[in-house]
A and B are shown apart, each in its own frame.
Chain A
């Protein structure tokens, strides 16, 4: 009955996933590597090649993607994979600003922001993002990931308590671990569960939620969660990575959308999605930002954001502020796509945003379906366990303001056709 690693039966290989190689007992650190490599050599052509496909053009609404299995470049695919929600990364104004910054500053900042890496551009971006968010001050980090890590580990200490939504991003979890505070998770969007985790704790408490959850596209139940947070004397951080510049009357995010901007203590966002650039930020009181400036290790032990990137972000932020019609176009596109997919019988889960999960709910078939979509002209990423729960596999669709109606109709047609052929929908 002994099954060897490197099984010749591909069905056996695909029954395993990354979680099977997470850790091992035994005493040699490298014990894991050989079985993992044997599995991966078969798993990659079995479907895992669909991750990290190199793109050969800008992350626009149509994109050229290298099929590393077939050895060809598939051109002009309808792009539902990139997070370019407002289509800003390739706007001419943004590119011109980047080029001007390259001429003035060169490639990088050549230093930690605390030492020599803070350029005048970086300071300008921090002031502008604070003003946009309606807060006293803001702090820019090299990535959204480092923003969460630096904020949580910079603020919380051993003996404190952090309670995050169970679907919180990995950067939140890593920040919790690094902070050495007690870590708890509450069932997704359930305020009564949050209350249970908070109520018997005496000490400093931080609640962490997200504006839009990145796998399901649903919104935080902010009003009820805020009530519980305040009743328990805790502070709250909202990570608006997928919602800043999109939600609310002024695009400030989901907190503004709910009319609770002032009630949230700490606002975090990223520049890599709606603004199409790179980096993350924290916005809040001047006292908070001045404190974090001295205690966020992920920020000051990294090089500051490169000046050309910062220049591009300043230009993109200006466009986002001056062109609120971009948000209107995005929501019009989202409404159209949700309706079109539902009419076709597609399960889009609990999405309330530009992130639309195309639910497959079968870990064994998702890669085969993904390959068909790829071959038939749609670039969209499969997501399966362990990134989401077992048999909660889906394709994660990102809608952009830049998508035309033709892009959406053609994309929906391909998706519905492939899902019907695969027996996912009738």
Chain B
């Protein structure tokens, strides 16, 4: 099997409650949103600082709806699953690569990223030529080395796709609700305008200096 690897310095992410009704509107018909509480589903916001890949170094933000994983007897056990509905990168080469290789929907413009880390806190700002798009703040807990599998679902016209993604890095996660998300009005966040997204995360995650590995795309 051909594997595609990306090295990163930081991957920070957080999970926020959002309306299940809004989550269903974002998802394709064959996927269901995970409900963490009655009528409340999950928006996952991840930001990457990639240091090496087939297309060089770049930054990326991923907005996803968390879905149930595809359990298959005899196959590897995933940690979680998601459907990315909007990504943005800092370079055109990274954007083209992700669209062609992984069929991931993108905001079709290079965005600017800043990652400010101090006192156990990482603040990521995504900007569009000086206009703020979103701000994500994640705080750390204790780090443990992990190798975790995620299922990523994609849609290409009517083609239902899935890819296994492994994250291998020291990892911290907690549910102390000390992070924050600020979503600014912007075409990238339009789908979330009526989604009643919580401003504080119920879970915060931080991967440091690791490798993200994609297996090959599968057709469902």
* Chain A contact residues, CB within 8 Å of chain B: 1-5, 7, 15-16, 20-26, 31-32, 34-35, 39, 166, 173, 176-177, 182-183, 185, 187, 362, 364, 389-392
- Contact (Cβ within 8 A) B34 A35: no
Taking the closest CB of chain A, its distance from the CB of B163, in whole angstroms, is 13
The CB with the most chain A CB atoms within 10 A, among B39, B71, B75, B215, is that of B71
Known: A1-B3, A35-B72, A183-B39. 18 other contacts (CB 8 A): A1-B147, A2-B75, A2-B76, A5-B73, A7-B77, A22-B68, A23-B32, A25-B81, A25-B153, A31-B72, A34-B73, A173-B37, A173-B38, A177-B38, A183-B37, A185-B37, A389-B175, A390-B173
Which B residues, 163 to 181, have Cβ-Cβ distances below 8 Å to chain A?
166, 173-177
Kindly list chain A residues whose C-beta atoms are within 8 Å of the C-beta of B142: 362, 391
Taking the closest CB of chain A, its distance from the CB of B69, in whole angstroms, is 6
Taking the closest CB of chain B, its distance from the CB of A366, in whole angstroms, is 14
- Contact (Cβ within 8 A) A391 B175: yes
Interface secondary structure of A, over-half rule: loop
- Whether a CB of chain A sits under 8 angstroms from the CB of B146 is yes
Q: Within the assembled complex, what's the spacing in Å between the Cα atoms of A309 and B175?
A: 41
Kindly list chain B residues whose C-beta atoms are within 8 Å of the C-beta of A21: 71
- Whether a CB of chain A sits under 8 angstroms from the CB of B70 is yes
Closest residue of A by beta carbon distance from B76: A3
Q: How large is the interface on B (under 10, 10 to 19, 20 to 34, 35 or more residues)?
A: 35 or more
Q: Within the assembled complex, what's the spacing in Å between the Cα atoms of A26 and B3?
A: 25
- Contact (Cβ within 8 A) B37 A39: no
- Contact (Cβ within 8 A) B73 A20: no
Kindly list chain A residues whose C-beta atoms are within 8 Å of the C-beta of B203: 389-390
- Whether a CB of chain A sits under 8 angstroms from the CB of B74 is yes
- Contact (Cβ within 8 A) A182 B175: no
Q: Within the assembled complex, what's the spacing in Å between the Cα atoms of A389 and B204?
A: 11
Q: Within the assembled complex, what's the spacing in Å between the Cα atoms of A26 and B153?
A: 12
Taking the closest CB of chain A, its distance from the CB of B84, in whole angstroms, is 16
- Contact (Cβ within 8 A) A391 B173: yes
Contact indicator per residue, chain B 51-80, by CB within 8 Å of chain A (1) or not (0): 000000000000000011111111111110
